[in-house]
Chains A and B, each alone.
Chain A
Amino acid sequence: MQKPEELGKSFRQSKREFWVMVGIWTFFAIWTVVYNGFFADGGSAEDPEILFGMPKWVIIGVAVPWVLAVSTTIWFAMGFMKDTPLSNEEETE
């Protein structure tokens, strides 16, 4: 049985991780929606700029944040997220 102090510590760490994840989501949501909201709109662009073979807005508004989001995910999972014992089992079979 896990001690309350250990569980409490793990809970507080999980809560910190929760808010960091929400922050990461917000950052990338703002990036893609705001950038693409301004630059992906084709209302006036009959000949959109092409970069690396794709429309420029796809590179800056989707591909670049995607690569950064994966990098952030790797940092988060391997660097920031802490291991917690999960063995507090009370099977009820």
Chain B
Amino acid sequence: MTALIAFGLYMVAVFALAIFANRVGKSKAFVSEYFLGSKSIGLWAFAFTYAATSASGGSFMGFPSLIYTHGWVLAWWIAGYMVVPIIALGLLAKRINQVGRIAGAITIPELLRRRYENRNVGNLATLLVVFFMFFYLMAQFKAGAQIMATLLDGVPIYETAVAGVDRLTSGIPWIGAADGDYLLCLLVFAVSVIAYTTFGGFRAVVWTDVMQGIVMGLGVVIMLVLALAQVGGIGKATRALGEMTPPHSVEVVVSRVEVSDEEIRLSRGEWLETAGERGVVRLKSAVLISAGSLKSEPAEALKLTTPAEIDNVLSGFDRTPGFIASIIGEPERYAYGDGQKGVYLTAPGPSRKDSGGFLGVMLALSFFAFWTFSGAGQPSYMVRQMAFRDTVTLRRSIVMVAVYFTLIYFPLVIIFTCARVLLPGMEVHPDRVMPEMAALLTSNAGMPWLAGLLIAAPFAAVMSSVDSFLLLVSSGIVRDVYQESINPKATEKQVKRLSYFVTIVVGVLGLLAVMHPPKFLQHLIVFASAGLGACFLMPMIFTLYWPRTTSRGIIGGMLAGGVTVLILYLIGFLITREFGEYLLLGLHPFVWAVLFSSIAIVGGSLSQEPVSETLRLRYFGISSEKTKR
């Protein structure tokens, strides 16, 4: 119930900000205000909108579950964030803002089109933004719905509503296959974000980002203090982790001690003692024992292998009395790290499927590059860099984001290594580790009301990403397609109506696309992120810093980057038959895409006449003679 109240208060604040933003923006030119906040975003707003958009659902759901599953090696996996603020904000921001203002551009495709005076460059950029960003939007819609469902699980009013949705949708093609809780949460989440983004535009998105950023930061700091206090210090947690060995996946038959006429359903996550040896298993799915029967059908479970963890569960966790689990068949062991003490303290970290471990050296290098440079290459961040007021704002924002990310990412590693000790067996549902940890820490501290604030953090993270992506796609369509190619003389009223309409339509299309939930959420996010970074990072760097770059080079660079990512994902799919990337020589596709994109830009540009002297002077302030010297 606390979660529901927290969520309600949070949504009230979001809508209040959107209404206020709409009123503030009324006196200003519509397009620049709606899509770019009139390029007047100040220090706090700029720093937090960047930080909050950057920290999506992955940071608060996926990342904690990875720390929990693989241990301290995640400190290395995320290490690139130490230089993300300086690279992602510093590398392009000053020049992109300057060139954007010279060009009078509102969007990234518009900036590229005007810089090269070539319509094809702008059209290709729009196409790539809409294509990859739509995958991103789908993934975040699904993540938002999942987080909301996790937060509201067990709230009576919500459970009744879910049952109603289940009844209404069963049998309907496409959406009938989805669970009622997912559909309900997706609908509420999507309608809320579409509404406040449409109504308030960029300024509302930025202001809500500030609030969401503060919620996230406070949540992490409070959790850190509570986790360290309750685990008895980080040293104690690390030593406990050093004794741990990865769990086994097993098949069990659950028996009850006495025959009963009652049908019994044991939920996912229930702890049971094992028959014979002293041990415990945790159910990975619900188990049913029919009336009059003593045994269940075989079911999947997680078997702990660390004696201290088994003692911890036997002495401190509720187990369903009168039931016992018998393990059948051979357990499924981790491909790397099985039975190996210390595996949670070191690289490459335990891995269930990969015999080389979770994080090899080449992959660690790839991620160091991926976090920093793919962040710099995202159009959703680039467009923010066109919106800050002056370079003083930029410089101070870089410092603020550097401190903010340090307070978020490294503490998350500490918090969720403590979670391994405090919450055993969360491998049955790793995505729930964040809300479960929040509930445990606040309840142990005698402050259950605080859980509402802590679990609002991941929700805030997803919301602040979705609103930005939504606006980016709609700005691409309104500004770069309609205003540029269809109706260049459109009145402000026409553009305003169309902007509202397109934002709603894009949001609704995203909603419809994920009503049948897509699989491989995390892969979808990484794919979209790598694709956008691959298409735009190097073309934008060359556009801003190399006057010799031409339209041919830029088109080649965007295509080479995007195609490299698509091909390496296609090879990955053909090899594994699952959506995922192919790591050529152990490196992430993004690294190869950056390389090929750079080669294509240089090759393409040198094969074409340089841009005119007028353009060179306009965007760089230097003549070709000076460049040659």
Contact = CB atoms under 8 A, between A and B. Distances in A.
A86 B345 contact: no
Interface in A41-93: 41-42, 45-48, 50, 52-55, 57-58, 61-63, 65-66, 69-70, 72-74, 76-78, 81-84, 86-93
Nearest to A87: B101
Contacts of A52: 234-235
A40 B621 contact: no
Contacts, number: 200
B379 to A, nearest CB: 20
Interface string A8-41: 1111101101100100110011001100110011
User: 6 shortest A-B CB distances, which residue pairs?
Assistant: A42-B346, A7-B621, A8-B621, A53-B235, A53-B234, A69-B82
B79 interface: yes
Contacts of B610: none
Nearest to A7: B621
Contacts of A92: 104
B104 A73 contact: no
Contact of A69 (B83, B233, B345, B369): B83
Grouping DSSP codes into helix (H, G, I), strand (E, B) and loop, the A interface class, with mixed when no group exceeds half, is helix
Q: How large is the interface on A (under 10, 10 to 19, 20 to 34, 35 or more residues)?
A: 35 or more
Given A32-B76, A36-B364, A73-B399, 5 more contacts: A40-B347, A46-B341, A73-B86, A77-B399, A91-B29
B617 A4 contact: yes
Contacts of A86: 97-98, 101, 390-391
Interface stretch (B87-95, B137-145, B205-213): B87-95
Contacts of A4: 617, 621-622
A61 B365 contact: no
A77 B347 contact: no
Interface stretch (B217-225, B402-410, B456-464): B402-410
Contacts of B626: 8
Contact of B79 (A62, A73, A82, A89): A62
B391 A84 contact: yes
B361 interface: yes
A73 B402 contact: yes
A69 B78 CA distance: 14
Query: Which of B29, B79, B369, B617 counts the most A-chain CB atoms under 10 A from its CB?
Result: B79
Contacts of B361: 33, 36-37
Given A61-B76, A77-B90, A46 B342 contact: yes
Q: How large is the interface on B (under 10, 10 to 19, 20 to 34, 35 or more residues)?
A: 35 or more
A11 B238 contact: no
A24 to B, nearest CB: 6
Contacts of B364: 32-33, 36-37
Contact of B238 (A2, A53, A66): A53
Interface of A: 2-12, 14-15, 17-18, 21, 24-25, 28-29, 32-33, 36-37, 40-42, 45-48, 50, 52-55, 57-58, 61-63, 65-66, 69-70, 72-74, 76-78, 81-84, 86-93
A88 B365 CA distance: 39
B342 A21 contact: no
Contacts of B242: 47-48, 50
B43 to A, nearest CB: 12
A65 B342 contact: no
A70 B402 contact: yes
Interface in B442-501: 492
Contact of B621 (A9, A24, A46): A9
B346 A70 contact: no
24 contacts: A2-B621, A4-B617, A8-B622, A9-B621, A10-B98, A12-B622, A14-B98, A33-B361, A36-B79, A45-B342, A47-B242, A47-B341, A48-B345, A53-B233, A54-B234, A54-B238, A57-B346, A61-B76, A73-B85, A74-B402, A76-B398, A77-B86, A86-B101, A90-B101
Nearest to B239: A50
B94 A33 contact: no
Interface in B218-275: 233-239, 242
B345 A14 contact: no
B346 A45 contact: yes
Nearest to B92: A18
Interface in B609-629: 617, 620-622, 626
Interface in B93-109: 94-95, 97-98, 101-104
Nearest to B541: A18
Contact of A14 (B82, B102, B237, B545): B545
